[in-house]
Chain A
Amino acid sequence: MALAQENVLIPDVGLRVKALESLLAEKGAIDPKSLDLLVEAFETRIGPKNGAKVIAKAWVDPEYKKWLMKDGTAAIKSLGYSGVQGENMVVIENTPTVHNVVVCTLCSCYPWPTLGLPPIWFKSAPYRARVVIEPRAVLREFGLEIADDVEVRVWDSTAELRYLVMPMRPAGTENFNEAQLAELVTRDSMIGTGLALAPGK
């Protein structure tokens, strides 16, 4: 039985990755230099700061927000964020009566162009198994206590739509500009396991 099919972890998995990469390069299927470029893109440019800029713009610009809610993909692309795992974007808005939280129970679908690569907990069995059946308990572990009369909406990304939560704009930020607001928008607040930060925190 081949190594990768055994009912245990692959031994020296990093070396098997290296084995596959070297074979694919020799056979002309990949260019290792283009792989370097890709790693650099994820380490430097693709991350939740992108999503934070989208949210901050929507907070200050009602026309942009309208567009973002209607056609998330196009509105997000207009700021330069598009492509792999962000091909079809839907933005869902938190309000005083609705709290949204996103999961992918079947794998780990996540909007890469706006949030980067998912954290391990998002891909983990406990989060994927539990947040659909006991979202309030999971959110409590993240420090969020959701009142009984607030509706919790759990979005399971079962298809090719990718969801970005628009958290509520924190109180006391009336005089903040877009860049200052973006600083308050955390990754977790755009997944729904957190809120935007209060100013000064």
Chain B
Amino acid sequence: MNGIHDIGGKHGFGPVVVEQNEPYFHEEWESRMLAMMIACFGAGVFNVDQFRRPIETMKPGHYLLSSYYEKWLCTVEQNCIDVGIVTREEVDARHKQLMKEKMA
């Protein structure tokens, strides 16, 4: 698809910003996301192509602003829904519950 991910040759993104001494993970959830991705891949939830597809269909604004691990969440979640392991409603409900618990 001619998606927002296809950015080779585009102008206007500004300089390449290099973070010195970049840690492997900036937050713990990023490491969980990496591991969950590989575990789901290993379990047969998706292959490399099925993994990429939902990232490319993210809304352009979301795609450009989100970190790579947030993109991974989108595709792992979508693939788990596609193969019938979870439903969007279940993830939404659990997410809301955890946010509520955090506020309490």
Closest 5 CB pairs of A and B: A105-B8, A14-B29, A35-B35, A19-B94, A126-B13
Let me know if B8 and A120 touch, CB within 8 A: no
> Looking at chain B, what size class is its interface with the partner chain?
35 or more
Let me know if B98 and A107 touch, CB within 8 A: no
A103, chain B: closest CB distance, angstroms: 8
Query: Other CB < 8 Å A-B pairs besides A2-B88, A20-B77, 6 of them?
Result: A4-B73, A20-B86, A29-B40, A29-B85, A128-B7, A141-B15
Let me know if A6 and B35 touch, CB within 8 A: no
Question: Can you name the residue of chain A whose Cβ is closest to the Cβ of B9?
Answer: A133
- Interface residues, chain B, with chain A CB atoms under 8 Å away: 5-11, 13-19, 22, 24-25, 27-29, 31-36, 38-41, 43, 45, 48, 52, 55, 59-62, 64-70, 73-74, 76-78, 80, 85-86, 88, 90-92, 94-95, 97-99, 102
Q: Number of A residues whose C-beta is below 8 Å from B?
A: 60
B74, chain A: closest CB distance, angstroms: 5
Among A36-44, A50-58, A173-181, the one that faces the other chain is: A36-44
Partner of B95, one of A16, A105, A117, A120: A16
Q: How far is the CA of A121 from the CA of B19 in the complex (A)?
A: 8
A124: interface (CB < 8 Å): yes
- With contact pairs A39-B32, A125-B64 given, residues A12 and B7 touching in the complex (Cβ less than 8 Å): no
Partner of A19, one of B5, B39, B95: B95
Let me know if B32 and A35 touch, CB within 8 A: yes
> Chain A 84-117, CB within 8 Å of chain B: the 1/0 string?
1000000000000000000101111000000011
A171: interface (CB < 8 Å): no
